Amino acid sequence: MSKEKLIDVNDLATYFHTEEGTVKAVDGVSFEIYPGETLGIVGESGCGKSVTSLSIMRLIESPPGKIENGEILFNGKDLTKLNQKQMRKIRGNDISMIFQEPMTSLNPVYTVGDQIMEAILIHKDVSKKEARQEAIDMLTKVGIPLPEQRVDEYPHQLSGGMRQRVMIAMSLSCDPQLLIADEPTTALDVTIQAQILELMNSLKRQFGMAIMMITHDLGVIAEVSDRVAVMYAGKVVEYADVKDLYGDPKHPYTWGLMYSIPHIEKDLERLEAIPGNVPNPLNFPEGCKFNTRCQFATDKCRVDEPELEEVEEGHYSACWHVDKLEEQKAKQGRG
């Protein structure tokens, strides 16, 4: 891709200094997002996905949290160097965010109209009346029936799916260049999930914004992403085009995750998730952080930490033994 990067995250590290010790929630993460594309970020619970996105928004609670290292270039400007006032101009306007729980991410004491209008009134110089009209337009765009009526309803009068649509309306009301969606469908049931993903895809075409889609669900990632970053224990361990990643995973962790997607029609052994647990972030293992669960781990893995390396064109993996993985895949007669 020759286009200008919209956001370029380099070696980002965000730690939490707690009483028990330092939690290295994000520890050297790099990725970039180009205008209009969707980057998927996938990984198990606690691997630092939310902390990465909150770092970009500069919403890390401090103390205990702190961005320790790295830069976040947004249109060439380093967000880590901005003060809160400058950051506020960017939040909701250039970069906006939707959250996992549509139940709790809306304020129960205001109507949905009030909340969408708030987003508009913070950033645009319009009258309340115009803002209200824009709110109604946004509700129409996110596919809420009877928007003139819904605009005056309270969040508890709406279903989960409708609430998430309202959140999306809110976050897109100022036409952001980047939308960060932190598990936007996890709390919804499957059919609604599909509708929301569909909606996000169509809004992306309509608004032309880029999306950073965070999830622990590989199925969701496959559906919406152009490229994918797989995170494990605060690091990106594999980074590739969505097709390459699914067709030919180059990191034992990704490979394991794929096997944990239930393929009921295929053989049952593949239902097994990766054995073992995510390591305690207060006490990560030496070397490769996946070494406690990796079937290919060697002594080298327990001493030296691998960095992301380009193993095929545009396909990065942080593993010392990609070759062993390839052997295993060949043995199993797979991709």
Partner 1 sequence: MEWQEVVIRLFKNKISLIGLILIIFFGVIAIGAPWIAPPSDPSEPYMVPRAGWGFEPQPPSSEHIFGTAEGQYDIFYGIIWGTRTAFRIGFIIVGISSFIGILVGTLAGYYGGWFDEVVMRITDIFMAIPFLIAAIVMTTILGQGLRNVMIALITFGWMNSARLMRSQVLSIKEEEFVIAADALGAGDFRIIFKHVILNTIFPLVIEASMRMGSMVITASTLSFLGIGAPEGYADWGQMISFARNWILGGEGNAIKYWFTVVIPGGAITLFCLSWNLIGDAFRDILDPKLQ
Ligand X SMILES: Nc1ncnc2c1ncn2[C@@H]1O[C@H](COP(=O)(O)OP(=O)(O)OP(=O)(O)O)[C@@H](O)[C@H]1O
104 binds partner 1 (CB under 8 A): yes
Place of tokens 């590739």: 240
Binding track over 287-326 against ligand SF4, x by CB under 6 A: -x-xx--x-xx---x----x------------xxx-----
Pull the structure tokens for residue 16: 């939490």
Whether the CB-CB separation of 236 and 31 falls below 8 Å is answered with yes
**Residue 16, interface with ligand X (CB under 6 A)?**
yes
Residue number, 56 or 294, with CB nearest to partner 1: 56
Contact 178, 41 (CB under 8 A): no
Binding mask 64-103 for ligand X (x = CB under 6 A): xx--------------------------------------
Q: Find out whether 221 and 215 touch, Cβ atoms under 8 Å.
A: yes
Looking from the CA of 109 toward its CB, the CA atoms found within 13 Å total 0
Candidate ranges 33-41, 45-53, 165-173, 200-208; the one touching Mg ion (CB under 5 A): 45-53
Select from partner 1, ligand X, Mg ion, none the partner in contact with residue 93, using the beta carbon and a kind-dependent cut-off of 5 to 8 Å: partner 1
State the minimum distance, in angstroms, from the CB of residue 206 to ligand X. Answer: 28
Residue selected from 281, 291, 294, 308 as contacting ligand X according to rule CB under 6 A: 281
The entry of Mg ion, ligand SF4, partner 1, none near residue 50 (CB within 5 to 8 angstroms by kind) is Mg ion
> Which of the choices Mg ion, ligand SF4, ligand X, none does residue 84 contact, using the CB cut-off of 5 to 8 A by kind?
none
Query: Which residues 229-288 are close enough to bind ligand SF4 by CB under 6 A?
Result: 252, 288
Q: Which strands, in side-by-side order, build the sheet including 77-78?
A: 21-33, 7-18, 65-74, 77-78
Alpha-carbon separation of residue 97 from 100, 107, 209 (angstroms): 10, 15, 12
When asked if residue 283 is in the footprint of ligand X (CB under 6 A), the reply is: no
C-alpha pair distances (Å), 42 with each of 112, 140, 182, 215, 232: 30, 31, 10, 5, 9
| Residues in a beta bridge with 77 | 74
Q: Cα separation of 310 and 321, whole Å?
A: 13
Residues making contact with ligand X (CB under 6 A): 16, 18, 23, 25, 43, 45-51, 61, 64-65, 216, 281
- Binding site residues, ligand SF4, CB under 6 A: 252, 288, 290-291, 294, 296-297, 301, 306, 319-321
